[in-house]
Structure 1
Amino acid sequence: MLKIGEIRELIRLLDETSLSEIHLESDSLKLHLKKPESERVLSIQPTSNQMPQVAVSQASAETTPVETVQTTAPATVVNESKADENVQVITSPMVGTFYRASSPDAPSFVEVGAKVNDKTVVCIVEAMKLMNEIEAEMNGEIVEILAQNGQLVEYGQPLFKIRLS
């Protein structure tokens, strides 16, 4: 059975090379890592009926915040509804842990009612110890915050609703 450190090393290898897929198979398990455009997927499936199926995403390892922000990731914006075309949704660009502030004792990046512009950092999504700043990428006002601080978020999960100005 692979240890979590070995799985992390395989993920790192996949990130640092031009490989797009890694497939390992043994008597006791199958491991398949695939690198699509913007997210990584890891699945481990045992070949015997005695072992349970395990699925690990890129953020399921330890999710302790680190002190510095490493990268800026683009957020995905989705039109909320036909009824209110001025409201847009910012979705998570990756799987990770959602943080409203840069540290536990720091104020939140934004609150409901806050005015934002396209460069305003609205939150951090931490994935594999990398703190990814998420920018609003539009001008408007925060109408609703849809994720809880410290919550694990999925790729494409709605994080904020913004009324465009």
Structure 2
Amino acid sequence: MMKVEEIRELINQVDKSSISEFTYEAEGTTITIKKEANKQSVISDLVSNESAPIKQESVKVEAPVQETSAEPVTAASSTVDNTKADYDYEIVSPMVGTFYAKSSPDSEKFVSQGSSVDSDTVVCIVEAMKLFNEIEAEVKGEIVEILVEDGELVEYGQPLFRVKSK
């Protein structure tokens, strides 16, 4: 079983990062931490698989707001997004890897802001373990925002594009 201090450290690390969901499994315990972009809270589900029957409890941990001059903006407050009305779908990374906006350095980008996409339109490539995986839009609409830069490392479930569906 993890100590409370270890769980707090995991929560702080996830809060400071750009990932929105994190799962950790060790010694029969699974911890899932999810961030919500419009709240300063972290949801953590603990499932213990010890010798006793499986028990499940949900813990809500409020992220503290730090108001110090050394750190003017906290990670949680910088992810608050009030532009939800501009889009209604996010294309997320299905894996951990490197994001590529084009198929080769000499090629044009797959899509740019304002591009129209169909559900089968390739919007980017995520390279993982030397495999180049084409990511499709999965929705018909218009790209309203590109959230990552070419060559940037991305996490599983990390939003890559915001789309206004049609």
Please report the TM-score for the alignment, with normalisation by the length of structure 2: 0.49
Q: Considering fraction of residues, name the structure with more helix.
A: 2
